[in-house]
Structure 1
């Protein structure tokens, strides 16, 4: 039966992989085809993206059948504290039975398959999915949905290739499966180190996202939010282990999917509107039509109290016009725009300045809400709806996309400008964009290369999509969840349930992201808060519930990652350097100390990487996982000539090469080191296209060279 299931799974995997490859290569090399509207007035990008998600669900069923604009919110605080209290209470209650290794790491293999499937969703739909994807869609459109497609596609690999063999081969950790036929200390060590590397990389975006969520809930700075999250998660893992982690993930996964569906229905029911914010916030201004030339030292029609300033230092040569209110000294920044009829308009932008002394100014005034202070205004609106109407009323699921595609949307971009005194200013400005461009790939800087003809940019895109496809089935905290069910059939069923929940949620991300884009509630500084702020534009209660659920879902994911890391340290690394394995009680104790250490590392990295989009950071983790773990796991299952030396070499080479590539990439140079991106030695930022094949090639070559070697490693 196992062999039959493997053959059927391989066939279905090839079918889906071919469809996924067609989508990726069409996006990379024929992006204009994605603009075509072959059915129901929807472009091919929307249809093919939804089609891949639906196909994943269908194939899974087939396989199963045969085989920072924040006010303190007391309500939000109350709901948040209630969720945390329930989570901790559940952890303490269920943790009483997690005294042995089998209980602490694998819940004795007694988790029901349906609960485990929903827990997959709670584990997987974390900061990257809810915060990062929705935020990327809200600021750039369809490009964020590419992550949804890639993330779900990876579950096809998990279902058809990995799920049943993992349950059959292992006990507690990823290394158990790799080492099932060899009993090699070398495999345990290298797999344990790989688990730590992948888990730490995956922890970074979770902590960044959790810190962003705590800001509007508790009014704390980002770093304090990260510390708070770290403390709660460490407490959960130390007191409970896999049993409570699973049930926490089950509850939060179910609630996140349900309330995201509710929020999507609200987005459709209230429709779209032009102009200012739907929640009556102060709207940014648009002036015009105006004279084509505006001289320095003069005033702009409609702004009699504001004087146009002469550009200086880094402002020279920029498209912006700066005015100063003579009464309040408040600065306003304007971005000229010419419409199709040749008329000139000025769209109001926003400016945040960091002085040489480290002080933050908004519009030239101290940041704050008191007299003589200023703060950023919420953004996100539609410049023009089809037919020139002011609002649409309720929209259907497909009509929503057609209306967006025929509208003009104000997307928000930013530009950094050096000031004469050594400070720097960041201008956040609107860019009126046809909706047809919003609903096609290629607007985000990460994906812009698919439309500029540069081969290196196209390779970067292919590399990311390959990593997303292969990364899910290589993530240690996902793999260890297969040990929590009783047998291979339960592993298969739980994966199908997980695909159903996750796929449904990823369809919702497009509605949530586009709804946030047009809600008038976006924080121009923080892309990660788009979905919670969309909920706030509906009402404080929904904001409180959505934020609390998202926060506790992050807790579940971080708990799973720390648990996987603790298992690697205790079961794979510590035992490998001892002549006798640790006894059960000591192993659990060591795992708890390891959890504290990994949690502290995650806190430090979450503070360091503040401000980066969490989905982008997760792309790095997927690249490392797919490069280090996927070649060894797949070849172990499907190539009988694999050797322990080949596995060790493949994991080590894949891990080191992917980490080295990421650390020397242009994105890391510019966003982490603060160095010019042009100085980076790597030709593109995503390593998967090079390092994943390198891992496979290394395993094959080393295995062929060591066929007759029998000595222990």
Structure 2
């Protein structure tokens, strides 16, 4: 899309960033030991930690990604919210208190508490790094998306900006400043989401969204002459070419030297050409938007309703609606979605977004993204099960979530902060349903980035709301990235260099090496954020959850609840979990597309690996613990 800088948004952004950096320097003066750097000295109040848990977890994937996926795919996007929340049940009942008793600074500390094994240290630190990096990618992608409308900067500039700020946060004070940044933005995000939901319900549903005097773009429809099932002529236009993509046909027409693509349909035996949105990457490197340069501003925001039904009657506008009225009315109506196809046109590459009318009932039920019903095949069913398994099991094994248990004083505090986090996160996810659906029908969708759905919806209701929400969303990214980099720096400095390499670093050295590691991880995250531009951030986070569920959770559960678990079994299960999940991800259709290959020709059609990688890791820890029993005498299994 084409964005103009908002000076109101810029002002709020500067205030938030200044506050965040101020907090970092304030706590930096109090950070004098490795305990305070990596775990805030274990002195965080459980209530602060609970909201910080929520702030850490409600990352770009939750606010930007889930809202965007709901806006594009309806209820299928909300399945992510259900999976993300359900995962906290595992954390509460199985992990929180016993895990607090085991560790000191890092995930590796806890896993190795009973063994003092170098194999566990190495495998767990590598696992922490890989999972953190995969979780970092969507945060950086989301940061770049946010900066475009917020500051008028390109995507890559936003990625660099958030990377630089987070490096300052982590290098200054570590976990203490990170905790309070997450506490602040977690609370603000929930409050502002309530405000945005209020505006959505107050506005109700309308056929032609109209905000600030700018009506939704009226996409043109042309009637062509057809011969032998193909377009032969269109009055007032020059026929250039026709392109078949799957079971669809797209027609390129020219008028006054500008070439446009149309979707060719024959509804009720009536031929029709429907206007599309098109981004063309020319062979010479130039990009055209709907056949013209970006400066012509001929690329529109989309998302509206083609029919609104209230009590069996079609209306143009509903007026204010209650939460349940909003959902039921949307279910009875029709939504216009824009679907994407890609194809080659000579030496040019075309990304085309075409309109498709979808019944509200279908939009509000699973099946638009994850084929699990009538249109399902074996791969689609397996992929859906695999995704839900990853989301349900991954939360309790994310390193940057697990280390937050060490910031409170007692196991009881760990449990109480987890309960508070569940309440806060659950409430927020209910709001994402309304924010995503509101974005879907109010003409605010950026087809190039579903991640911008919620901020652009806020902009439709006023510059002030957009400014505050975008600034808080940016702070959301900052807080989550900071937590991930703290986890990564701990894995490098404490686990790998100090423990595995046996450097026996002094307390000051641990902090210094951790800050250097934070800088290196931050630079790497910036590069990855640029490389994965355009992919929905919730989808990307699903990969991190799958790796965490496969690499870490079997080891954690067996360590806590099976006394015969050995150090060899734990190390082997981590290695198998990482290897299997990465192998499936790197050969998935999405990565095939990133490689410039045809996704349909990928080695397999599974996007989410947990269905295969998690059982493999479970089997590995069991078999290797039997074959290679632990060498030390059992000191007793730790349970809740």
Give the TM-score category using the shorter length.
over 0.9
Distance 1:296 1:653, change over 3 A: closer
2:284 matches 1:351: no
For the Cα contact (< 8 Å) 2:225–2:231, is it kept in 1?
Answer: no
2:421 matches 1:498: yes
**Matching residue of 1:44:** none
Distance 1:577 1:492, change over 3 A: closer
**Matching residue of 1:684:** 606
CA distance in 1, matches of 2:344, 2:244: 5
* SS state at 2:448 partner: coil
**Matching residue of 2:339:** 413
Deviations 1:5-46 (A, max 9, x none): xxxxxxxxxxxxxxxxxxxxxxxxxxxxxxxxxxxxxxxxxx
Distance 1:156 1:665, change over 3 A: same
* SS state at 2:153 partner: coil
For the Cα contact (< 8 Å) 1:277–1:379, is it kept in 2?
Answer: no
TM-superposed deviation, 1:299: 4.3
**Matching residue of 1:537:** 460
Q: Whose strand fraction is larger, Structure 1's or Structure 2's?
A: 2
Bigger mean CA offset, 659-668 vs 100-109: 659-668
CA distance in 2, matches of 1:161, 1:111: 22
**Matching residue of 2:88:** 155
Distance 1:279 1:137, change over 3 A: farther
2:208 matches 1:270: no
**Matching residue of 1:15:** none
TM-superposed deviation, 1:282: 5.3
Deviations 1:206-234 (A, max 9, x none): 00001110111111111111111110000
TM-superposed deviation, 1:461: 0.8
CA distance in 2, matches of 1:259, 1:509: 12
2:546 matches 1:620: no
For the Cα contact (< 8 Å) 1:314–1:418, is it kept in 2?
Answer: no
Matches for 1:299-338 after TM superposition, within 5 Å: 299-300=234-235, 306-312=236-242, 318-326=248-256, 329-336=257-264
* SS state at 1:524 partner: coil
CA distance in 2, matches of 1:708, 1:531: 51
TM-superposed deviation, 1:274: 0.2
* SS state at 1:533 partner: helix
CA distance in 1, matches of 2:247, 2:617: 48
**Matching residue of 1:478:** 401
For the Cα contact (< 8 Å) 2:51–2:420, is it kept in 1?
Answer: yes
Deviations 1:656-675 (A, max 9, x none): 111122112222111x2111
2:629 matches 1:699: no
Bigger mean CA offset, 146-155 vs 408-417: 408-417
For the Cα contact (< 8 Å) 1:467–1:623, is it kept in 2?
Answer: yes
For the Cα contact (< 8 Å) 1:223–1:607, is it kept in 2?
Answer: yes
**Matching residue of 1:92:** 25
Deviations 1:135-187 (A, max 9, x none): 11111111100000000011111101000011111000001111111111221
CA distance in 2, matches of 1:507, 1:416: 34
CA distance in 2, matches of 1:288, 1:233: 48
Runs of at least 5 residues in structure 2 that lack an aligned partner in the other structure: 634-640
1:385 aligned residue (305, 308, 311):
308
**Matching residue of 1:674:** 596
For the Cα contact (< 8 Å) 1:80–1:544, is it kept in 2?
Answer: yes
TM-superposed deviation, 1:362: 1.7
**Matching residue of 1:198:** 131
Matches for 1:165-564 after TM superposition, within 5 Å: 165-281=98-214, 283-286=216-219, 293=226, 298-300=233-235, 306-312=236-242, 318-326=248-256, 329-336=257-264, 346-368=273-295, 373-386=296-309, 387-420=313-346, 422-444=347-369, 447-564=370-487
TM-superposed deviation, 1:455: 1.5
For the Cα contact (< 8 Å) 1:237–1:245, is it kept in 2?
Answer: yes
CA distance in 1, matches of 2:596, 2:213: 38
**Matching residue of 1:11:** none
CA distance in 1, matches of 2:110, 2:511: 21
For the Cα contact (< 8 Å) 2:139–2:537, is it kept in 1?
Answer: yes
For the Cα contact (< 8 Å) 1:353–1:364, is it kept in 2?
Answer: yes
TM-superposed deviation, 1:684: 1.7
For the Cα contact (< 8 Å) 1:94–1:244, is it kept in 2?
Answer: yes
CA distance in 1, matches of 2:66, 2:292: 33
TM-superposed deviation, 1:344: 5.7
Distance 1:344 1:651, change over 3 A: same
**Matching residue of 2:51:** 118
For the Cα contact (< 8 Å) 2:550–2:613, is it kept in 1?
Answer: yes
TM-superposed deviation, 1:312: 4.8
With the length of structure 2 as denominator, give the TM-score of the two structures: 0.94
TM-superposed deviation, 1:266: 0.6
Distance 1:698 1:631, change over 3 A: same
For the Cα contact (< 8 Å) 1:178–1:636, is it kept in 2?
Answer: yes
Deviations 1:99-128 (A, max 9, x none): 101100111111010100000111011110
For the Cα contact (< 8 Å) 1:276–1:284, is it kept in 2?
Answer: no
2:504 matches 1:581: yes
TM-superposed deviation, 1:332: 3.8
Distance 1:688 1:231, change over 3 A: same
Deviations 1:246-287 (A, max 9, x none): 001000000001001110111001100003544543543355
**Matching residue of 2:638:** none
With the length of structure 1 as denominator, give the TM-score of the two structures: 0.85
For the Cα contact (< 8 Å) 2:242–2:251, is it kept in 1?
Answer: no
CA distance in 2, matches of 1:105, 1:201: 21
* SS state at 1:319 partner: strand
CA distance in 1, matches of 2:111, 2:66: 33
TM-superposed deviation, 1:345: 5.2
**Matching residue of 2:637:** none
CA distance in 2, matches of 1:703, 1:224: 49
TM-superposed deviation, 1:604: 0.7
CA distance in 1, matches of 2:247, 2:420: 56
Distance 1:352 1:644, change over 3 A: same
CA distance in 1, matches of 2:251, 2:463: 37
For the Cα contact (< 8 Å) 1:297–1:308, is it kept in 2?
Answer: no
